[in-house]
Amino acid sequence: MRFDLQVIASWIEPESRVLDLGCRTGSLLAHLTEEKHIDGTGIEIDEDAAGQAIAKGLSVIHGDIYEEIEDYPDNAFDYVILSQALMQVLDPETILREMLRVGRLGIVSFPNFTHYRNRLQMLFTGRAPMSKELPYEWYNTPNLRVIPIIDFRRFCKHLGVPIVKEVAISTHHHDEQGKVITFLPNLFATFGIFMLGQAR
* Average per-residue pLDDT for the chain: 92
- Predicted model pTM: 0.92
Residue 17 CA to residue 76 CA, distance in Å, equals: 8
pLDDT in tens, 123-164: 888 887 888 777 778 787 776 788 999 999 999 999 999 999
CA–CA distance, 139 with 151 (Å, rounded to integer): 24
Domain-located, residue 84: yes
In the chain, how many domains are there? 1
Tens-place pLDDT, residues 17-34: 999 999 999 999 999 999
Is residue 167 within 8 Å of 193, Cβ to Cβ? yes
Q: Within a domain: residue 55?
A: yes
The whole domain housing 186 covers 3-112+145-197
Between strands 191-197 and 163-170, the pairing is antiparallel
Please list, in sequence order, all residues whose beta carbon lies within 8 angstroms of the beta carbon of residue 76, skipping any fewer than 6 positions away: 17, 19, 102, 103
Is there a domain that residue 133 lies in?
A: no
Label residues 162-185 b or e (16+ Cβ within 10 Å = b).
eeeebbbbbbebeeeebeebeeeb
CATH assignment of the domain containing 79? 3.40.50.150
